[in-house]
Amino acid sequence: MTAVKVGVIALQGATRPHLEALHALGAHALEIRTPEDLAGVEAAVLPGGESTTMSFLLDSSGLREPLHDRIVNGMPVLGTCAGMILLADKVLDGRDDQRSLGVIDITVRRNGFGRQRESFEADLLVEGLGGEPFRAVFIRAPVVERAGSDVEVLARVEGIPVVCRSGKTTVCSFHPELGDDLRLHAMFLESVR
């Protein structure tokens, strides 16, 4: 079986840790900066970073529309932190001109967990990853304030959804790429095969 080709949207943010995690799981991980790069992959990851910056670069690179169309047409996608914000239907406390891709029916509040001084690590149980807790790193993380009826919530922190899935779109408000635990990436790759 040939390796799955997965693209990490490399406009800005923590692309390298995602590339390494995907590579370690046997995927063929590629950086995506242009519509041509996107055309060659079967799935995509939107990494953490600054969603305002990425939103600007999605427009200037011409990636916004083709990325949106691919996802709507069934391409599996994983969004972490800023990636979650970019995939969300509605963003609160963002910039007025900030546009999200609107491919998962959730409302998120940007930096809802606070500034860097409130950033934290926690062990949490994620549905579908077995009984072992997942060490999650939250950095200026967004808060999911509403999840639509077709959205599965796979993990929560103090009642707040932190991993959500709808169809082939998975989002989490923390950074699975910053630890050694690859189970969330593995679950995502399962959805590609």
Partner 1 sequence: MTGTFRVKRGLAEMLAGGVIMDVVDAEQARIAEDTGAVAVMALERVPSDIRRDGGVARMSDPAMIEGIKAAVTVPVMAKARIGHFAEAQVLESLGVDFIDESEVLTPADEAHHIDKWAFTAPFVCGATNLGEALRRVSEGAALIRSKGEAGTGNIVEAVRHLRAIMGDMRKITIADGPELFEWAKRLQAPLPLVQEIAETGRLPVPLFCAGGIATPADASLVMQLGAQSVFVGSGIFKSDDPARRARAIVEATTHFRDAALVAKVSTGLGAAMPGLEIGSLETKLADRGW
CB atoms under 10 Å from CB of 145, counted, come to 14
Residues identified as active-site:
81, 175, 177
Measured from the CB of residue 17, what is the shortest distance to partner 1 in angstroms?
A: 6
Measured from the CB of residue 2, what is the shortest distance to partner 1 in angstroms?
A: 26
Q: Which of 24, 27, 79 is nearest to 49 (CA)?
A: 79
Site string for partner 1, 110-129 (x = CB under 8 A): xx---xxxxxxxx-------
Per CB under 8 A, does 173 bind partner 1? no
Give the number of residues in contact with partner 1, rule: CB under 8 A: 40
Percentages of the chain per state (helix, strand, coil), in multiples of 5: 30, 30, 40
Per CB under 8 A, does 57 bind partner 1? yes
Matching residue, tokens 């995690």: 21
Distances (CA, A) of 82 to 36, 45, 140, 185: 23, 11, 10, 17
| Closer residue to partner 1, CB minimum distance, 137 or 153 | 137
Q: To the nearest 10°, the Cα dihedral for 169, 140, 179, 152?
A: -30
Write out the residues near partner 1 by the rule CB under 8 A: 10-17, 33, 48-50, 52-53, 56-57, 60-61, 81-82, 93-95, 110-111, 115-122, 137-140, 175, 178-179
